Structure 1
């Protein structure tokens, strides 16, 4: 396996796909070292982690992919659950010939990562949960309001929900550009899956070491949910970003990348700790 991984060609953002289970999955696979799967949020796709990737540095093999009804992934036009999406992560690991990987998920992607860890504990080396929640019920009013917006209105709402005033000045429209347009059927399937997310009573079953990163002013995934995860996941650590909103993974990418490298044991010389 190691030889095949060393010889692999990088998957570029332009449109590489891989057969994973029943899906043709769009993905980006670059860098070498510790495998880290980047799981995008509800309104994003495989390109959403461009800012974070720039700061992850050497020693990390960063793999992002398009979930169902996202980007260039081709999936059957049928309903699915977050459990299905968790299984899709493992199908991707199988396709890439990876026995296990670290998972980093933001928002909806963090929920997918939690379900993957619950269903396939032996395949998940660790979790990094950014701006996510153990339950849709936490922040449901704000989420429902956002999900009812059209794509154009959603882009206009990014400033209020996603970035701090200081972040707007630095980032301009960068956060809005990560939002992906979907037709009503695809949006409806993803929103239905999100609304079923409720694992507060199962957090104690997550065995993977877990780093939780959360903004204290997140309206879509309230900070109280991060505290619940820290308290109930057996091996969890919470790092707060004071005043941070929902797009902390982008706005504070450099800081978070440093925390991720530390958490994964990737040293300054890019060699993972034994």
Structure 2
């Protein structure tokens, strides 16, 4: 597998940095709140042939450059929808994890015509589904959050069986200034799409770990009840970092889902 990047493309007033690999169905990967586009490095190979996997840096992240103005979570959804066109596509697939799943939800709700499928891993429709770890996380400063997040991502057994998982989890935690962190936290604070999910007109795959300490698994169950044409895959014992610890399961499920809804249909 050849991975290209980082490359850059103009999206509104920003220069968005992205990395791509593979050829075929365009699948845009939307990283979590503490991460950047490199979060998906280990996951890419599990998508197999026939998928062009594209991960990008969101606002206030990594190599993406843009204004320092405040923004909303809806603005981030618009960024994502506009990125599809900027990359030369009419439609694409989405995989969003955690914070990235929230961004992907807003994009799919507001611009359903631009997306052929939506895969959401370890995310929730609003703050009501935050687990015990989330309450602690929100009280920490950025540096403390980075250390705390590692334990929230990987199961104890996973740490024992594969110590390298911890290094991988740490490697994708992106540094940000206090101002950048504040803007991102302010943006996501308004997220609540629970009552809009019945109108989500994009085929949706929900993937969640049953022992996620940050977003309880009930979030996936509730979304599955509300979203038409949705499917749910639970990873027994998985914590918040399921895409890192269980890349074969997550990648395989997303691969099958993407190929079930080709952009050329």
Normalising by structure 2, what TM-score?
A: 0.92
1:224 aligned onto 2:215: no
Q: Distance in 1 between matches of 2:222 and 2:112?
A: 20
8 Å CA contact 1:209, 1:236 repeated in 2: yes
* Pairwise CA distance, 1:160: 2.8
Tell me if structure 1 keeps the 8 A contact 2:204–2:231.
yes
The answer to whether the aligner puts 1:193 opposite 2:199 as a matched pair is no
Structure 1 residue matching 2:104: 3-state secondary structure: helix
Matched, 1:59 2:50: yes
- Name whichever of 128-137 and 154-163 sits farther off: 154-163
Conserved 8 A contact 2:91-2:115: yes
Matched, 1:27 2:27: no
Give 3-state SS (helix, strand or coil) of 1:213's partner: strand
Contact 1:106 1:129 in 2 (8 A): yes
Unaligned runs of 5+ in 1: 1-8
CA RMSD in angstroms comes to: 2.0
Measured after TM superposition, the shift of residue 75 of structure 1 is: 1.6
- How far apart, in 1, do the equivalents of 2:118 and 2:166 lie? 30
CA distance in structure 1 between the aligned counterparts of 2:20 and 2:253, rounded to whole angstroms:
21
What SS does structure 2 have at the residue aligned with 1:129?
A: strand
- Is 1:255 the equivalent of 2:246? no
- Give the length in aligned residue pairs: 260
Unaligned runs of 5+ in 2: none
Residues 1:241 and 2:235 are matched in the alignment = yes
After alignment, is 173-182 or 143-152 more displaced? 143-152
Give, in whole Å, the separation in 2 of the partners of 1:175 and 1:99. Answer: 33
The answer to whether the 8 Å contact 1:265/1:273 transfers is: no
Instruction: Tell me which moved more, 151-160 or 191-200.
Output: 151-160
Give the distance between the partners of 1:257 and 1:161, measured in 2 at CA. Answer: 21
**Runs of at least 4 residues of structure 1 off by over 3 A?**
271-274
The offset of 1:94, in angstroms, is: 1.3
The Cα offsets for residues 221-240 of structure 1, whole Å up to 9 and x where unpaired, read as 11111111100001111111
2:166 pairs with 169, 172, 189, which one? Answer: 172
Does the CA contact (< 8 Å) of 2:210 and 2:216 recur in 1? yes
Q: What is the correspondence of 1:140-155 to structure 2 with a 5 Å cutoff?
A: 142-155=133-146
TM-score by length of 1: 0.89
Could you tell me whether the CA contact under 8 Å between 1:48 and 1:178 is conserved in 2?
yes
1:186 offset after TM fit, Å? 0.3
Q: CA deviation at 1:159?
A: 4.1
Question: Post-superposition shift, 1:158?
Answer: 3.1
Give the direction of change, closer, same or farther, for the CA distance of 1:242–1:189 in structure 2 (3 Å limit): same
